[in-house]
A = this chain, B = another copy of it.
Amino acid sequence: MTLTIGIVGLGLIGGSMGLDWRDRGHRVLGVSRRPETIERAIERGACDQASCELDLLQSADVVVLCTPLGVMTATIDHLLPHLADSAILTDAGSVKAPIVAAIAPRYPNFVGGHPMAGTADSGIEAALRGLFVDRPYVLTPTATTPPAAIETVAQLARDLSARVYQTSPDRHDRAVAWISHLPVVVSASLINACLADADPELVAIAQSLASSGFADTSRVGGGNPELGLMMAQYNRDELLRSLRGYRAALDAAIDEIDRQDWTALGDRYTASQQARPKFL
């Protein structure tokens, strides 16, 4: 089925969706606040039509909110008056409970969504075809979300060749706390702890000797500070829960090393070695 799809926010995610959906025959209408972005989105082929004005979206069958989390609810206030009565609304936010709580009561034909893909870059210039291929795309309907709306958004996700999952907003946020938001704090703390060594000369030696193990473990902790902050702000309760679980595991390892309980520490390492492939 060919749809008219509105995309609000033409960055890496929104722009990449537009490229792929147009390739699949859908008609894509794009909205961005910045005229330069509109122009580049059209030039790059991410939209059939684009505008700085939300009234462009009156003919859209489905509208996807791809703005940063911080402006999503404010955008909703401006967007809702422009939607057709039957339009399905979805979003691409990386935290779901607060977004679903803010939008679903005001717009029942809404399906929370989280396409889990990205690159280190952002903006319309970073948009690329195939970004979502074989990546998870999580839908987080509530008990009252219309099944037809869920199926339409699921089909659009499949049109991106994504793997579609469905769970509740709360369970989504708990799962991404473990696998996406917790690793940022764990990883940044590795860098912060080493920097805090009282001996600056030792820090310099450590920096000279660091290799791929340190590079990998510290990678997500050395990323964009604004993204890290956003995760902590929007998913605070679940992040704190996972951090406390993490600290308990760390303390158990410290205690085993302190007591020289090498059997228990060996079992711990064996468990992590055996479990890791299930996360890949």
Out of B185, B224, B276, which one reaches A218, CB within 8 Å?
A: B276
Assess the B190–A182 pair: CB atoms within 8 A: yes
Assess the A229–B269 pair: CB atoms within 8 A: yes
Give the contact stretch, choosing among A58-66, A152-160, A207-215.
A207-215
A68 in contact (CB, < 8 A): no
User: Count of A residues near B, CB < 8 Å?
Assistant: 91
CA distance A278 to B247 in the complex (A): 27
Assess the A249–B189 pair: CB atoms within 8 A: yes
Assess the B217–A219 pair: CB atoms within 8 A: yes
Chain B neighbourhood of A242, CB < 8 A: 193-194
Q: Which of A72-115 contact B (CB under 8 A)?
A: none
- Contact pattern, A 14-28, Cβ under 8 Å of B = 1, otherwise 0: 000000000000000
CA distance A219 to B269 in the complex (A): 12
Assess the A221–B276 pair: CB atoms within 8 A: yes
A67 in contact (CB, < 8 A): no
Chain B neighbourhood of A194, CB < 8 A: 178-179, 182, 242, 245, 279
Assess the A192–B222 pair: CB atoms within 8 A: no
Out of B190, B236, B260, which one reaches A236, CB within 8 Å?
A: B260
Assess the A179–B193 pair: CB atoms within 8 A: no
A45 in contact (CB, < 8 A): no
Chain B neighbourhood of A210, CB < 8 A: 179-180, 279-280
CA distance A121 to B108 in the complex (A): 55
Chain B neighbourhood of A208, CB < 8 A: 136, 163, 165
Q: Which of A227-280 contact B (CB under 8 A)?
A: 228-229, 232-233, 236, 239-240, 242-254, 257-258, 260, 262, 265-266, 268-273, 275-280
Chain B neighbourhood of A183, CB < 8 A: 190, 213-214, 217-218
Chain A residues near B (Cβ < 8 Å): 116, 135-136, 138, 163, 165, 167, 171-172, 174-176, 178-180, 182-197, 202, 205-211, 213-226, 228-229, 232-233, 236, 239-240, 242-254, 257-258, 260, 262, 265-266, 268-273, 275-280
Could you list some 28 contacts between A and B, CB below 8 A?
Answer: A136-B208, A138-B209, A165-B208, A172-B205, A175-B205, A176-B209, A179-B206, A179-B213, A180-B210, A182-B194, A185-B250, A189-B246, A189-B249, A191-B276, A192-B252, A193-B242, A196-B245, A197-B245, A207-B278, A218-B276, A221-B272, A222-B275, A225-B266, A225-B273, A232-B265, A240-B257, A243-B257, A244-B254
